[in-house]
């Protein structure tokens, strides 16, 4: 009986979490009248795809998708690489001041982006990177959370495996490539997913760093669908649905790696 109640609770929780997405997809298929009807309808009486046609007409979605994909993939690969190297160093290499340096690095997680956005803009401007892909990629290539996640995973690797690799003549780079990375695959996948989602959905920094329409990412393009004096919510919901589909697919493909990573690293 307790298991049945737990399962019912999980289903109800999943339904509550999924309802906003279902409402978004439903609203994208409604016309202006039905979108604001009272009482509201969960599913439109006459579904229409006109909002999707208007969204493609008002915004260059192929270009927006391409820009977001380039920035997200590049930032994710670089972040996973740097976090992997730093996580390995903090977990498997002994050096003076390691714990203090790690705590200082973790302390940066308490600093929000809004605090550093001005110096970050000045830095990118000094490097002549404003209004370029690199202005969006470089600030995301290293994160304290990524280092923490990979470090926790690498602490679970048995020391005997490392000692056996050293006896075989392996250096730290070979141990990292052939021992640590394969054993921490789920954690790397989790970091990759979280990094991809964060970069894909980023709005504040791209809004400041990018001003050319041909270099805008998807969140900026969706913001342009909002009118100056009124908002066409079915149109906005259509654009948002299109933006959510790619990341949803990526998440469902790699969701097992996320669960396994949280179980092995002890993060709850």
pLDDT tens by residue, 216-264: 998 888 887 776 566 778 888 888 888 888 878 877 777 776 666 666 5
Q: Is the pLDDT of residue 266 over 60?
A: no
208 and 116, same structural domain?
yes
Domain containing residue 217: 60-265
- Residue 214 is assigned to a structural domain of this protein: yes
- CATH number of residue 182's parent domain: 1.10.3720.10
User: Is residue 187 domain-shared with residue 225, that is, in the same domain?
Assistant: yes
Number of domains into which the chain is organized: 2
**pLDDT per position as a tens digit, 38-89:** 787 788 888 888 888 888 877 788 898 899 999 999 999 999 999 999 999 9
Q: Are residues 26 and 76 in the same domain?
A: no
* Phi, psi for residue 91 in degrees, rounded to 5: -95, -35
Residue in 241, 175, 204 with CA at minimum distance from that of residue 25? 241
Residue carrying the six token digits 């329409």: 213
| Tokens matching residue 33 | 């009248």
Q: Dig out the tokens for 259 from the structure.
A: 């669960």
Mean pLDDT of 195-210: 90
Do 131 and 200 share a structural domain?
Answer: yes
Tell whether 77 and 148 lie within a shared domain.
yes
Q: Residues 34, 166: one domain?
A: no
For helices 233-265 and 2-27, give the axis angle rounded to 10 degrees.
150
Q: Are residues 100 and 228 in the same domain?
A: yes
Task: Assess whether 157 and 35 both reside in one domain.
Answer: no
């Amino acid at each position: 009986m307790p298991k049945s109640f737990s399962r019912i609770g999980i289903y109800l929780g999943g339904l509550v979490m999924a309802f906003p997405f279902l409402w978004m997809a439903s609203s994208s298929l409604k016309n202006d009248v039905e979108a604001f009807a009272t009482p509201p309808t969960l599913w439109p009486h006459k579904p229409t795809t006109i909002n999707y046609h208007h969204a493609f007409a008002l915004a260059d979605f192929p270009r927006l998708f391409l820009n977001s994909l380039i920035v997200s993939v590049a930032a994710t690969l670089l972040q996973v690489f740097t976090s992997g190297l730093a996580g390995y160093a903090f977990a498997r290499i002994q050096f003076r001041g390691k714990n203090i340096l790690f705590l200082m690095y973790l302390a940066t997680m308490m600093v929000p982006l809004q605090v550093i956005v001005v110096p970050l803009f000045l830095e990118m401007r000094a490097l002549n990177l404003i209004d370029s892909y690199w202005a969006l990629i470089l600030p995301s290539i290293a994160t304290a959370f990524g280092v923490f996640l990979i470090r926790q995973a690498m602490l679970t690797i048995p020391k005997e495996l490392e000692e056996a690799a050293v006896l075989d003549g392996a250096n730290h780079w070979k141990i990292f490539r052939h021992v640590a990375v394969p054993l921490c695959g789920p954690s790397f996948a989790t970091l990759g997913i979280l990094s991809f989602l964060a970069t894909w959905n980023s709005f504040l920094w791209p809004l400041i760093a990018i001003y050319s329409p041909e270099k805008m990412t998807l969140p900026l393009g969706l913001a342009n669908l909002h009118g100056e004096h009124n908002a066409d919510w079915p149109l906005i919901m259509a654009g948002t649905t299109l933006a959510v589909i790619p990341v949803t697919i990526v998440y469902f493909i790699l969701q097992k790696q996320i669960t396994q990573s949280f179980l092995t690293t002890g993060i709850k």
